[in-house]
Chain A
């Protein structure tokens, strides 16, 4: 092939269509299963596999299994018990024994007959698996928090966009739980949003649990993956939703803690309400505790001047008025009360909530509601707060350069070395 011109227009004219919809129409499986009035035949369904099928992963799996346009074909987990349970759900759903069982995600991603995967592993695996899935041509429903470090976001985005993949984050709450504050903001009832108060939970912590005997039904080395080695302890790797200890969400090697776990929802809802999901802060102002008894808090400053106060003491917050809205999960948005035009609140595509939105996006090649880019921006806010908390100082953030400004020590916290043999 020759290239007549060094221009986009010239290249597009001379090459075959680069339309993602043409290149990535869902794979056509050869099953003879017939559909009915509500279920398309198997040959028209989107073939899916799941990676990480414990707590949240099993919930996601049930959602996709119940979707009439999905043909679920493979399960992958490092725990035998969850793997068997996940397989049983698939085989029960289809009344056969066809579901493939895999212990290593690389084997699942190598299968050419799978259109899309859902990933619900602990957070330390998200970036590696998502990038590998993009390269293998899979679309991805990726549980939140989508990133564990600030550096992962741009790499994941480059893979998603470059390889033309549909990637949906997994926070179902952003659109579903915060309507009482989102709707008035988008209707223009508050005027321009000028500030937000949010109460993110604590950051994750170091894990110093003692060594227990490693049970035979877990591949411990693969569970740890790129995270530092640590001795097996059920409290280190259990999959419950707690962040106060004795669960992986509590520990810094695997999670950002409550800050990022619930932060994925709460930052997401607040930023969605304020129309800031396409932005990242350019400054974090650290307010130390005062002798007068006020606790420390931080303010994320967005480029257009909106201030997102995190854990601001009540005594410093503006009194709620007609230009403020509050949510029981600790979110308040404050507007200037000036007239602004209302806008329609975006909706999910398809049916069946965020999971259906993903499936519809796979079909249409449009970006899902929680596309990876707003997801990365949401998590960036949480990560920036986490680093400011750790260093207990103000930081300036250059989004374009993806660096802290004039703060080499903070830049050391952009990412962390991955355990061999994992390379991001």
Chain B
């Protein structure tokens, strides 16, 4: 046991000094420890604590990246503060999300929502991407105002996220933003289709029908580009899927 402990300590000393291009052979040993810790909370917590120490220390981007990848698998609420602290750092934000996005805990979602409020630019869009992947219904009030943001990339990300979240609240936010004069009107249309698909998949047929009906009606006007034709097709075929099978 003592030898094992020394071995583990040495692996993490090596990780703390690791960088791209260096000998990476010891990482396989850490990988094996992570797999072996499944079903053993004490060992898993010990590894999690060690990975969090790597995040908190003055370590390389490569070392932090590796730690985030493994926390993606074994991270718990104990990792959320350390990961959240990296969300605003351009070099580490994505990999912090790489772990946070997959940690199925309310604290992880809360950290992402909170970061939407104080970050800007691409990092803010990253938070939105992760909230969309989590289908975080609680993010709707955070995302809804962003649909009308002056930055098209931000507004598009928030719009797509609402579509993927796919709740009635998300549908309402998207309906309120459906303005054919908007520079992202096509994105809103696509997001509403995604939203209706999601509601139908979740079994809310009436809500999906309502969205599709609105989209079919909206599709009666507008340009006749390839994109618009495809969107109109999606609205009509979606409505057919959502209608009662009679």
B72 contacts partner chain A, Cβ-Cβ < 8 Å:
yes
The reply to whether B98 and A228 form a contact with Cβ atoms under 8 Å apart is yes
B225 contacts chain A at the CB level, 8 A cutoff? yes
Task: Tell me which residues across on chain A come within 8 A of B231, comparing CB atoms.
Answer: 135, 137, 163
Of A66-74, A94-102, A390-398, the stretch lying at the interface with chain B is: A390-398
Residue of B nearest to A17 (CB): B236
Chain A residue contacts of B185, Cβ below 8 A: none
* Chain B residues positioned under 8 Å from A209 (CB to CB): 20-21
Stretch in contact with the other chain, from A119-127, A312-320, A405-413: A405-413
| Contact (Cβ within 8 A) B230 A231 | no
Q: Contacts A228-B94, A229-B94 hold; do A24 and B133 have CB atoms under 8 A apart?
A: no
Chain A residues whose CB sits within 8 angstroms of the CB of B190 once the complex forms: 135
Q: Does B137 contact A (CB under 8 A)?
A: no
Contacting pair A1 B38 (CB below 8 A) = no
List residues of chain A with CB within 8 A of the CB of B89: none
B-facing residues in A217-232 (Cβ within 8 Å): 228-231
Q: How many positions in chain A have a CB within 8 Å of any CB in the partner chain?
A: 55
* CB contact between B246 and one of A9, A208, A421 (< 8 Å): that residue: A9
Per-residue 0/1 for A186-225: is the Cβ within 8 Å of any B Cβ (1 yes, 0 no)? 0000000000000000000010111100000000000000
B20 touches A211 (CB 8 A): yes
Q: In chain A between 343 and 402, which residues have their CB closer than 8 angstroms to a CB of chain B? A: 390-393
Q: B50 near A: Cβ within 8 Å?
A: no
Interface size on B, residues (CB 8 A): 67
| A419 and B20 in contact, given A8-B243, A392-B35 (Cβ under 8 angstroms) | no
| Nearest CB of B to A317, in Å | 27
Rounded to whole Å, the gap between the CB of B119 and the closest CB of chain A is 10
A15 interface residue (CB < 8 Å to B)? yes
CB atoms of A18 and B133 under 8 A apart: no
Contact A417 B94 (CB under 8 A): yes
Alpha-carbon gap, A239 to B226, bound state (A): 33
B47 at the interface (CB under 8 A from A): no
The answer to whether A417 touches B73 (Cβ under 8 A) is no
- The one of A1, A8, A210, A413 that contacts B216, using a Cβ cutoff of 8 Å: A1
Bound Cα distance from A417 to B125, whole angstroms: 12
B193 surroundings in chain A (CB, below 8 A): 162
- Kindly identify which residue among B100, B101, B233 contacts A23, using a CB–CB cutoff of 8 Å: B233
List chain A residues, Cβ under 8 A from B194. 158
Q: When the two chains form their complex, are residues A15 and B236 in contact, meaning their CB atoms are under 8 A apart?
A: yes
Closest chain A residue to B196 by CB distance?
Answer: A162
Name A1-49 residues within 8 Å CB distance of B: 1, 3, 6-12, 15, 18, 20, 23-24, 27
Q: Is A339 an interface residue (CB 8 A)?
A: no
Residue of A nearest to B69 (CB): A206
Q: How far is the CB of B240 from chain A (nearest CB, A)?
A: 5
CB-nearest residue of chain A relative to B239?
Answer: A11
Cα-based distance from A303 to B57 in the complex (angstroms): 49
Check A206–B129 contact: CB distance below 8 A. Answer: no
Tell me whether B126 and A137 are in contact (CB under 8 A). Answer: no
Alpha-carbon gap, A165 to B227, bound state (A): 12
Q: Hey, which chain B residues are within 8 Å of A134, CB to CB?
A: 230
A415 in contact (CB, < 8 A) = yes
> Which residues, 223 to 246 on B, are CB-close (under 8 Å) to A?
225-227, 229-234, 236-240, 243-246
Residues of B within 8 A of A107 (CB): none
Q: Is A269 an interface residue (CB 8 A)?
A: no
Q: Which of A11, A210, A392, A421 contacts B20 (CB 8 A)?
A: A210
- The digit string for B37-63, where 1 denotes a CB below 8 A from any CB of A, is 010000000000000000000000010
Are the CB atoms of B217 and A1 closer together than 8 Å?
Answer: yes
Min Cβ gap A361→B in Å is: 16
Q: Which A residues are in CB contact (< 8 Å) with B232?
A: 23
Give A393's nearest chain B residue, CB to CB: B38
Do residues A423 and B125 form an inter-chain contact, with CB atoms below 8 A? yes
Q: Is B113's beta carbon under 8 Å from chain A?
A: no
User: Do the beta carbons of B94 and A419 come within 8 Å of each other?
Assistant: yes
B97 touches A423 (CB 8 A): no
Contact A136 B230 (CB under 8 A): yes
Partner of A8, one of B93, B161, B244: B244
Q: In the complex the two chains form, is A135's CB within 8 Å of B133's CB?
A: no
- Give the docked Cα–Cα distance between A3 and B213 (Å): 8
Q: A418 CB to closest chain B CB, in angstroms?
A: 6
- Restricting to B52-102, which residues have a CB under 8 Å from any CB of A? 62, 65-66, 69, 72-74, 91, 93-95, 97-98, 100-102
How far apart sit A209 and B94, CA to CA, in the bound complex (Å)? 20
Is A24's CB under 8 angstroms from B126's CB?
no
With a cutoff of 8 Å between Cβ atoms, the chain B residues found around residue A161 in the complex are 237
> In the complex, A6→B212 CA distance in Å?
12
A212: shortest Cβ distance to chain B, in Å?
A: 10
Q: Which residues of A contact B13 (CB under 8 A)?
A: none
Q: Name the one of B102, B123, B230 contacting A412, with C-beta atoms under 8 angstroms.
A: B102
Q: Which of A390, A416, A421 is close to B125, meaning CB atoms less than 8 Å apart?
A: A421
Residue A420 interfacial (CB < 8 Å): yes
Interface residue? A112 (CB, 8 A)? yes
Decide if B21 touches A208 in the complex (CB within 8 Å): yes
- Kindly state the separation between the CA atoms of A27 and B225 in the bound complex, as whole angstroms: 10
B11 to chain A, nearest CB (A): 15
Q: Are B227 and A112 in contact (CB under 8 A)?
A: yes
Q: Is B153 an interface residue (CB 8 A)?
A: yes
Complex contacts, B21 vs chain A, CB 8 Å: 208-211
B27 interface contact, C-beta 8 A: yes
Chain B 10-34, CB within 8 Å of chain A: the 1/0 string? 0000000000111010010000000
What 10 A-B pairs come out closest when comparing CB atoms?
A210-B21, A420-B126, A137-B230, A137-B226, A208-B24, A412-B102, A417-B101, A420-B122, A421-B125, A423-B129
In the complex, besides A228-B94, A412-B103, 8 extra interface pairs with C-beta distance below 8 angstroms are A1-B216, A7-B243, A23-B233, A135-B190, A163-B234, A416-B98, A418-B133, A420-B93
